[in-house]
Amino acid sequence: MPVVNPSQYRAMLQRAKDGRFAYPAFNVTSTETVNAVLLGLKQADSDGIVQISTGGAEFFSGLGVRNMAKGAIAMAEYVHLMAREYDVNVALHTDHCAPKYLGGFVLPLIVEAERRAEAGLGNLFNAHMFDGSELPLEENIGMSSELLKRCAAVDLILEMEIGVVGGEEDGHDTSGVGKEKLYTTPQDMVAVHQALSPIGTYMLAATFGNVHGVYKPGNVQLKPTILRDGQEAIAKAWGGASAMLVFHGGSGSSLEEIHETLDYGVIKMNIDTDTQYAFTRPIADHMFKNYDGVLKIDGEVGNKKAYDPRPYLKKAEQNMADRVTRACQDLRSAGTSAGRGL
């Protein structure tokens, strides 16, 4: 299926909200990892989200370019081309754009969407993510509101974050913040909804103790009921309304905790650390088992079949695809693909 258009994506999100499941959003950095996500979604018969971070986009652009916006556009074009070959619906997001990266990442991508709209072309992306959680809440909401105005004008969704997701991912390090900042308040969620809902469609990454990366049990205490309390506060203030919530930093969370968040309105969960490991593990295995063939030791010629990247990258793609499939099962999205029915 082609990457979904704006109305199809809204239909996807509503199906998840009504069905109490979430779409996994997988960060990708290469054509191989894109292929793995598409294959894993197909295996699971699940719709899903391909996601591009600032670091992933810069990496994709290559050492000779190192441009986040150009890398994101190039990767999005590749996803559009390949997604047509799979009978699942796929959406495209950007991930975690801190204020310092706006000028080099999200803003140029919004400009590109505006250019495409003037030319009568469809959007490359379905949503962009602004992470202003390092800012005071009022400033975060103000910047998010201005971004949503531009996004809504070209039929894009804005994802924003309040509170702080702990740990480190892709250069975004909040490991030094106090634990009290890892928990969003209901009042904060109401303030966001009050400011953004009249402007356009938004998603909210509200924090409830979640962390990036993998940590030993007990390092941070998850409190999913924070999401429930925030949704109840929004419903009370806005006549039964609710927010579309996003779960960041979910690696290592228990299945019970994940399912609880789905019951509170989480419709998207970001996955990166687990799929990185799933991709790298078969490569490491190949290198250890074929050490003599991969390296030209003591003047020998090595083994071309061992150092040809294709065999071990195929293994990496399949292993990551299998982890993608498992994520779909965990989030209850497996077997729910709308296929061509959107």
| Residues 282 and 312 sit within 8 Å (Cβ to Cβ) | yes
Q: Rounded to whole angstroms, how far apart are CA atoms 200 and 144? A: 11
| Residues 129 and 93 sit within 8 Å (Cβ to Cβ) | yes
Q: What six digits make up the tokens of 10?
A: 């809204």
Strands (E), the chain: 23-27, 48-53, 90-95, 127-130, 157-162, 168-169, 172-173, 202-206, 244-247, 266-271
| DSSP-assigned states of every residue in 73-92 | HHHHHHHHHHHTTSSS-EEE
Q: What six digits make up the tokens of 9?
A: 């994506």
3-state secondary structure of 57: helix
Q: What is the DSSP letter of 205?
A: E
Q: Partners of 207 in the beta sheet?
A: none
Q: Residue 224: name the closest of 192, 187, 167, 183 by CA.
A: 183
Residues 6+ positions from 128 with CB-CB distance below 8 Å: 93, 94, 97, 106, 109, 110, 147, 151, 156, 157, 158, 159
Q: Which of 95, 188, 272, 274 is catalytic?
A: 95
Task: Give catalytic status of residue 95 as yes or no.
Answer: yes
Please give the positions annotated as active site. 95
